[in-house]
Structure 1
Amino acid sequence: MIQKRSSLSQTAYLKIKKKIMRGDFIDENYTSQNQLVGELKMSRTPIITALQRLQHEGFVKVISNQGIVIQESSIKEINDFFDARIAIETYSIQRTINLLTNKDFDHLDEMITAQKQCCESQDYFSFVKLDADFHQYLLEVDGNSLFVQTMSNIRERLFYNSTCFFKKQQNMDDFIQGHIQILDALKQKNQQLAINELEDHIQSGKISLI
């Protein structure tokens, strides 16, 4: 029975987290236990356990007798997250640049093309996911599993903020151009240019979200 409850709580956790990251609550920035019970077709107990976990991770704030507020990252958190990104990604790209193959370049080009399609269709959720995937792919080529996991956690925390931010055409265009410039530098095997383009791109995201 305990194992079943744990499994249900994990299911609720994953479903609620997906809804948050997909931007389901962006308009009101709010939900409730009753709303989640109806939407997930689950009992209240696993949902409460899932919400406690999500609150501990910083995704929501549960307010007694009022509801659940979806938490945007604070300015301090955004600063810390992006500083960590710059440190990890610029270090990692120095090793990645000599490991990338034409197959890797083709895959990264496909990501950029897919982002352009998301921009045209105003698919904000998929655009943000592709943005994260582009950077995550470069880390995975390097192969440092701690970097990969750390960045995955950071991007999850920033995902909600990013989905809100990318609801502007110009923002999406700017980030696509940033990826193009990073990829061009990587193709040239120009390490310093790649580092500069990557840092400028990440700094731009930090300034925009703040």
Structure 2
Amino acid sequence: MSVAYSKSGWLINCEEIQPQNIEQYLQEQRQTVDEKNTLEFLKSDSEFHSYLIQIIDNQFIIPTFKNIRERLFHHGNLIYKKNPGLIKQSLDEHIQIIEAIKEKNVENAVDFMEQHLQNSKKIELMYV
């Protein structure tokens, strides 16, 4: 099965995700982690999330993400500069999500996405 609903009600369709696109984002993120380039990581991270959000069949989350993207970018920059190890953690979580998608294991992809969002939320709240 390559389609499933998450606990949050998102419809995830692995068939719509192009492996070459997600690999490009991951490669960019790996490079920025190696270079310790927080701003470039955040740019690539934003593009990665935008790509995945477009595939989620939830018309509410797309405009919501667009509205908060700038604030997340600024706040993320401050957080990652204080704790650069969090960039690697975020990249590792992205890799888990993408590996599950490539394997068409939607249940794991959904679980990893939701865990990534929960971790991001906890990190944001720690630094508010």
TM class by smaller structure? 0.7 to 0.9
Does structure 2 conserve the Cα–Cα contact (< 8 Å) formed by 1:90 and 1:195?
Answer: no
Letter in 2 for 1:105: P
- Choose the corresponding residue for 1:134, options 13, 30, 48: 48
Please tell me whether residue 209 in structure 1 is matched to residue 124 in structure 2. yes
Letter in 2 for 1:148: I
- Equivalent-residue separation in structure 2 for 1:125 and 1:114 (angstroms): 12
Give the drift of 1:156.
Answer: 1.8
- 1:38-83: CA deviation from partner (whole Å, max 9, x where unpaired): xxxxxxxxxxxxxxxxxxxxxxxxxxxxxxxxxxxxxxxxxxxxxx
Letter in 2 for 1:165: I
Does structure 1 conserve the Cα–Cα contact (< 8 Å) formed by 2:12 and 2:110?
Answer: no
- Equivalent-residue separation in structure 2 for 1:140 and 1:148 (angstroms): 7
Secondary structure in 2 matching 1:178: helix
Please tell me whether residue 160 in structure 1 is matched to residue 74 in structure 2. yes
- 1:130-169: CA deviation from partner (whole Å, max 9, x where unpaired): 1121111012234655532221112222221111111233
Residue 111 of structure 2 is matched in structure 1 by 196
- Equivalent-residue separation in structure 1 for 2:20 and 2:15 (angstroms): 16
Does structure 2 conserve the Cα–Cα contact (< 8 Å) formed by 1:97 and 1:191?
Answer: yes
Unaligned residue ranges in structure 1 (runs of 5+): 1-87
Report how many aligned residue pairs link the two structures: 119
What CA RMSD, in Å, does the superposition of the two structures yield over aligned residues?
Answer: 2.2
Bigger Rg over Cα: 1
- Equivalent-residue separation in structure 2 for 1:112 and 1:153 (angstroms): 24
